Chain A
């Protein structure tokens, strides 16, 4: 039974089928995460593609957690989704060659919290995406990001506080607007 880690090693040695196996193993998780972040199936499909392109571009620094690349991919997808236009430019030619997404799945609730998450500093945004959106545990996130679990916890705490403050402030502005 192959794992992401073993397939990655084979892909690095030039086995394209191994990279395809990693893609097929992890794409659904990345896609769900991208839909939650973007609220758009079409954008999510581009996030998925760019995330895997980025994985190959950074192939000598990806991180495995328990043999899986999922957490790293989700963290990368978060950053890709944050500025999809910029992230996509690098791969415009490759993206243009892919067939249009098939609109068979309706995305869920649009990512209402995305604007607030996007305003978080990058380190906090990554742990929020991994722990609060994608549902990884703090230790998995720590391993994926290469930081101590305590740092994940402290970043998460700060991010929660900032998000609460941001959302509260936006709520107050909305109330004021109705007066």
Chain B
């Protein structure tokens, strides 16, 4: 890739120059371990706190002088922590502080073992340093930020853990445990299907049928929308999503599905190559269709 191109538009050239200047004037940032989240959850704060100010946006609120009460901040930070971890919920008594000075807090009762998280929210300029167990962190902010900065902690014994550190400026910190809803273990039938490292079409269809049966037990029809496709799919509504994600899919289909998809990716690519056809980004069935091939002619199963 050359550094310049003669054919680009004036706008692209200007944009390339702008991006180049960005990199040269603001190289590596300090927070490399942080994971930022979307803005969706923060809107909940405004729905709760600003009942009469529905038109406020997250950014506008953060930039405004209004600061949510600490009880709401604490709740929202807990929700942020839980929201990034699948079907997790805050568990136990969390540590929270929104005032400058030294931090010396204990997490209270909680699960004997499990994941934990630290959330730091810059409501204005300030900084935070902290230590929880062997985990340390720092944050420096020059202004209010729209979402908390999150640090997930590994599964461990966090109940009664000691959070220490320092807050400076308008910064809030929350640390607490999470209770993650467990995923079902693979059934014996699914384990057998993947035991030899290869999934046959029959094993794939049988695994789907077991998964559909699991959903059907909850009164939900989980028939594939197009049963002849290489990869089966259908939808599940929100009311049944948790049962699907935590129970039926991992118990009966997840491992089989993953292996089958890998096999089919390779097999379709090989078939296309054998027929001198370049691969495309389409789904597997479309790739074959465009090349006037079929699963049968490719001997996919």
Chain A residues with CB under 8 Å of chain B are 2, 7, 11-21, 23-25, 27, 45, 48-49, 52-53, 56, 58-61, 79, 86, 89-90, 94, 97-102, 104, 122, 131, 134-139, 148-151, 153-154, 156-162, 164-165
The residue that B19 contacts in the complex, of A23, A89, A99, A139, with Cβ under 8 A, is A23
Q: Which residues of A contact B201 (CB under 8 A)?
A: none
Given contacts A16-B24, A45-B11, A59-B29, contact A158 B18 (CB under 8 A): no
Shortest Cβ distance from A45 into B: residue: B11
Q: Which residues of B contact A104 (CB under 8 A)?
A: 9
Contact B249 A56 (CB under 8 A): no
Contact B24 A14 (CB under 8 A): yes
Task: Give residues of chain B (153-186) contacting chain A, Cβ–Cβ below 8 Å.
Answer: none
Interface check B228, CB cutoff 8 A: no
Contact A19 B258 (CB under 8 A): no
The residue that A157 contacts in the complex, of B10, B21, B236, B282, with Cβ under 8 A, is B236
Task: Give residues of chain B (223-266) contacting chain A, Cβ–Cβ below 8 Å.
Answer: 225, 231, 233-237, 241, 244-245, 249-250, 253-254, 257-258, 261-262, 265
Q: Which residues of B contact A24 (CB under 8 A)?
A: 1-2, 5, 8, 12, 16
Contact flags (1/0) for B72-108 with A, using CB distance below 8 Å? 0000000000000000000000000000000000000
Q: Which residues of B contact A52 (CB under 8 A)?
A: 15, 19
Contact B27 A161 (CB under 8 A): no
Q: Across chains A and B, which 8 residue pairs bring their CB atoms closest together, nearest first? A: A161-B235, A16-B20, A135-B281, A14-B27, A16-B24, A19-B23, A20-B16, A16-B23
Interface check B3, CB cutoff 8 A: yes
Q: How far is the CA of A134 from the CA of B283 in the complex (A)?
A: 11
Contact A150 B254 (CB under 8 A): yes
Given contacts A16-B20, A16-B24, A122-B40, contact A98 B1 (CB under 8 A): no
Q: Which residues of B contact A11 (CB under 8 A)?
A: 23
Contact B15 A49 (CB under 8 A): yes
Q: Which residues of A contact B69 (CB under 8 A)?
A: none
Shortest Cβ distance from A89 into B: residue: B59
The residue that A149 contacts in the complex, of B15, B18, B250, B258, with Cβ under 8 A, is B258
Q: Which residues of B contact A101 (CB under 8 A)?
A: 9, 11
Q: How many residues of B contact A (CB 8 A)?
A: 56
The residue that A102 contacts in the complex, of B11, B237, B280, with Cβ under 8 A, is B11
Contact A136 B281 (CB under 8 A): yes
The residue that B32 contacts in the complex, of A60, A137, A159, A161, with Cβ under 8 A, is A60
Q: Which residues of B contact A53 (CB under 8 A)?
A: 19, 22
Contact B14 A161 (CB under 8 A): no
Interface check B35, CB cutoff 8 A: yes
Q: How far is the CA of A151 from the CA of B245 in the complex (A)?
A: 8
Shortest Cβ distance from A150 into B: residue: B254
Q: Which residues of B contact A61 (CB under 8 A)?
A: 34-36
Q: Which residues of A contact B254 (CB under 8 A)?
A: 148, 150
- A20-B20, A139-B261, A153-B257 are known; give 11 further A-B pairs, CB within 8 A: A20-B19, A99-B11, A102-B10, A134-B281, A138-B261, A151-B245, A153-B231, A154-B245, A157-B233, A160-B233, A161-B236
Contact A154 B236 (CB under 8 A): yes
Contact B234 A98 (CB under 8 A): no
The residue that A13 contacts in the complex, of B3, B16, B28, with Cβ under 8 A, is B28
Shortest Cβ distance from B224 into A: residue: A157
**Which one of B3, B38, B235, B261 has the highest number of Cβ atoms from chain A below 10 Å of its Cβ?**
B235
Contact B234 A161 (CB under 8 A): yes
Contact B235 A157 (CB under 8 A): yes
Q: How far is the CA of A164 from the CA of B26 in the complex (A)?
A: 45
Contact B10 A12 (CB under 8 A): no
Distance in Å from the Cβ of A76 to the closest Cβ of chain B?
11
Distance in Å from the Cβ of A128 to the closest Cβ of chain B?
12
Q: How far is the CA of A101 from the CA of B13 in the complex (A)?
A: 11
Q: How far is the CA of A154 from the CA of B35 in the complex (A)?
A: 24
Shortest Cβ distance from B26 into A: residue: A56
Interface check B31, CB cutoff 8 A: yes
Q: Which residues of B contact A151 (CB under 8 A)?
A: 245
5 A-B pairs with CB atoms under 8 Å apart are A2-B1, A20-B20, A97-B14, A153-B261, A157-B234
Q: How far is the CA of A94 from the CA of B11 in the complex (A)?
A: 12
Interface check B17, CB cutoff 8 A: yes
Shortest Cβ distance from B35 into A: residue: A61
Contact A56 B282 (CB under 8 A): no
Contact A164 B20 (CB under 8 A): no
Shortest Cβ distance from A79 into B: residue: B38
